[in-house]
């Protein structure tokens, strides 16, 4: 009969044998030490911070646009909608960067794995949010950019029914996108977009909680 | 902290604890190429975190935490931590005396560990390496009672599996 405690002794023998049977290739280790290769989590945080700066560069002029057109709700409201979406994107970017920067691999395993899994889920939600927002922003973006960049009034350039139809189409597409996410959410396409599988991330997070909480 | 002295100190410490890297890689990767990739990931992460290592604490505890965190992420095909080490063209941990290979019991044990989920792999590895419940709890970030419960459960599972 073999048990874990007996195996502990065998393992100790194995451990002693490893002292002499393995050698660390110091040349490769040295190469790793001087390697200026990217640190993926930090790189991800830097990309997100740059993205946040770019998003700020959208939020600020939109704010100015809203202020300039405050007396004309037909321009101010679409701009406010765009601004809200941009602020939500900025918040998500900051949240991801903060989580990524906080990850310290020398902290206990359960805590770090939980952080990594949380980052995965936030990232998936962020990608999904971008898709949903993309369906909604088309019409307000047209109205605001025509007015902001060219001083043109999209309401008089395009028939009202056409603009309303586009806005409604954007709304109607949302349930379709949600359905597609639920249908193909764990599919390779979504995994490649977000980098991860939401179902797997949630599953592992549940396993982690169970692993942490179980007492007897 | 990238002075030559720091590099030397790091190399000496890692050399003294290279078995941890070897055992973690063997427990989390079946494929030898993956093992070497994982070893490089672990060593790179160790070096990146070395500046924050507090010498008042045991190097092995710190090393276990990093090695296991990297291994679990690697095992789960973690893409947040993309592979950032170019192939080195050589093995980081070289087996220089492989005449007899691993004894059958150790091979079976590695296979048993391999079949466990990534968190229980870490637990068994730490237990087999002679760590106390308190040390295991410190590395994993769970309570000692929890460690005891899980070890007992794994002992039962192992008896069923290996007898």
Chain B contact present for A192, CB below 8 A:
no
CATH at residue B103: 1.10.10.10
Question: Which DSSP state fits A119?
Answer: H
Q: Tell me the ipTM for this assembly.
A: 0.78
Percentages (nearest 5) of helix, strand, coil residues in chain A: 85, 0, 15
Closest CA to B25 of B38, B15, B14: B38
**Candidates B18, B72, B106; nearest CB to A109:** B72
Q: What is the pLDDT of residue A103?
A: 83
Nearest CB to B47 within list A32, A104, A109? A32
Three-state secondary structure readout of A85-141: HHHHHHHHHHHHHHHHHHCCCCCCHHHHHHHHHHHHHHHHHHHHHHHHHHHHHHHHH
Q: Is residue B146 very low, low, confident or very high in pLDDT (cuts 50, 70, 90)?
A: very high
Domain final residue pick, B67, B91, B115: B91
Is residue A87 a part of any domain in this protein? yes
Within-domain flag for A89 = yes
In a domain, residue A11? The reply is no
Same domain assignment for residues B66 and B140: no
pLDDT of B70 reads 92
Tell me, what's the pLDDT at B124? Answer: 93
Assign B122 a pLDDT band (cuts: 50, 70, 90). Answer: very high
pTM for the predicted model, two decimal places: 0.77
Q: Which domain holds residue A83?
A: 38-211
The reported pLDDT for the residue numbered B99 is 55
What pLDDT score was predicted for residue A124? 81
pLDDT at A10: 85
Alpha helices in chain B (DSSP H): 4-16, 18-28, 32-49, 59-75, 104-114, 118-128, 133-140, 144-162
> What is the reported pLDDT for B112?
85
Q: What percent of chain A has a predicted confidence (pLDDT) above 90?
A: 28
Which of the 8 DSSP states describes residue B39?
Answer: H
Counted across chains A and B, CB pairs separated by less than 8 A come out at 189
- Residue A10 counted as domain residue: no
Query: Which chain A residue has the Cα nearest residue B58?
Result: A106
Asked, for residue A19, whether it belongs to a domain, the answer is no
HSE-CB at A168 with a 13 A cutoff on CA atoms is 6
Residue B101: helix, strand or coil by DSSP? coil
**Among B43, B69, B91, residue at a domain's last position:** B91
pLDDT at B84: 45
For B:31-50, CB contacts with A below 8 A are: 40, 43-45, 47-49
Range name among A46-50, B35-39, B56-60, B124-128 with the lowest pLDDT average: A46-50
**Is B83 found in the same domain as B11?**
yes
**A30-44, A173-187, B148-162: range with highest mean pLDDT:** B148-162
* A206 lies within 8 A of chain B by CB: no
**What's the domain range around B56?**
1-91
A104 interfaces chain B, CB cutoff of 8 Å: yes
Give residue B89's pLDDT: 57
In this complex, is the C-beta atom of B152 within 8 Å of any C-beta atom belonging to chain A?
no
* Residues B105 and B162 both lie in one domain: yes
Residue B139 has pLDDT above 90, yes or no: yes
DSSP code of residue A23: E
Residues in chain B with CB shorter than 8 Å from the CB of A107 are 65, 141
Which pLDDT score is estimated for A72? 94
pLDDT digits (tens, 9 = 90+) for B1-38: 568 888 889 989 999 999 999 999 989 988 888 888 89
- Number of domains present in the structure of chain A: 1
Closest chain B CA to residue A99:
B80
Using an 8 Å CB-CB cutoff, list chain B residues near A39: 48, 84
Q: How many residues does chain A have?
A: 216
Query: At residue A2, does pLDDT exceed 90?
Result: no
Q: Tell me the average pLDDT across B100-120.
A: 82
Domain end position, chosen among B71, B91, B111 = B91
Over 50: is that where the pLDDT of A138 sits?
A: yes
pLDDT per residue over A92-126, tens digit each? 988 888 888 888 888 899 999 888 888 888 888 88
pLDDT digits (tens, 9 = 90+) for A59-73: 999 999 999 999 999
**A2 falls within a domain:** no
Cβ–Cβ of A106/B141 closer than 8 Å? no
pLDDT digit string (tens) for B42-92?
998 899 889 888 888 889 999 999 999 999 988 876 443 444 444 555 677
Q: Residue A174 domain-assigned?
A: yes
Counting every residue, how long is chain B? 163
Residues B154 and B101 in one domain: yes
- The secondary element (H helix, E strand) that includes residue B90 is none
* pLDDT value, residue A74: 93
Mean pLDDT of chain A: 83
Give the H or E element holding residue B94: strand B93-95
Element spanning A24, H or E: strand A22-24
The count of domains in chain B is: 2
So what's the pLDDT on residue A57?
Answer: 94
């Amino acid at each position: 009969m073999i048990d874990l405690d007996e195996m502990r002794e065998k393992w100790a023998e194995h451990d002693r044998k490893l002292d002499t049977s393995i050698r660390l290739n110091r040349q490769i280790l040295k190469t790793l030490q001087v390697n200026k290769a990217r640190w993926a989590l930090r790189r991800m945080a830097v990309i997100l911070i740059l993205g946040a700066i770019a998003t700020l560069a959208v939020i600020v002029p939109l704010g100015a646009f809203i202020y300039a057109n405050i007396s004309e709700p037909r321009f101010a409201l679409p701009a406010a909608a765009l601004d809200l979406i941009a602020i939500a994107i900025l918040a998500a970017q900051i949240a991801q960067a903060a989580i990524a920067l906080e990850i310290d691999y020398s902290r206990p395993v359960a805590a770090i794995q939980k952080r990594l899994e949380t980052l995965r889920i936030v990232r998936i939600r962020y990608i999904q949010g971008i898709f949903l927002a993309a369906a909604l922003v088309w019409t307000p973006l047209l109205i605001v950019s025509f007015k902001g960049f060219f001083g043109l009034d999209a309401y008089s350039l395009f028939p009202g029914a056409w603009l309303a139809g586009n806005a409604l189409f954007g709304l109607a597409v949302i349930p379709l996108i949600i359905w597609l996410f639920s249908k193909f959410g764990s599919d390779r396409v979504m995994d490649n977009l977000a980098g991860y599988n939401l179902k797997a991330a949630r599953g592992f997070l549940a396993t982690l909680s169970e692993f942490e909480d179980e007492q007897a | 902290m990238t002075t030559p002295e720091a590099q030397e100190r790091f190399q000496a410490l890692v050399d003294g604890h290279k078995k941890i890297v070897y055992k973690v890689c063997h427990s989390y990767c079946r494929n030898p190429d993956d093992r070497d990739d994982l070893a490089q990931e672990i060593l790179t992460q160790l070096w990146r975190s070395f500046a924050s290592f507090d010498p008042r604490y045991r190097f092995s505890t710190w090393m276990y935490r990093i090695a296991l965190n990297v291994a679990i992420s690697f095992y789960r095909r973690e893409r947040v931590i993309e592979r950032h080490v170019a192939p080195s063209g050589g093995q980081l941990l070289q087996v220089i005396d492989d005449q007899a290979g691993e004894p059958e019991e150790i091979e079976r044990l590695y296979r048993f560990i391999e079949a466990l989920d990534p968190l229980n792999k870490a637990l068994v590895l730490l237990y087999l390496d002679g760590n106390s419940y308190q040390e295991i709890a410190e590395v994993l970030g769970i309570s000692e009672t929890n460690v005891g419960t899980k070890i007992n459960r794994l002992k039962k599972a192992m008896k069923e599996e290996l007898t």
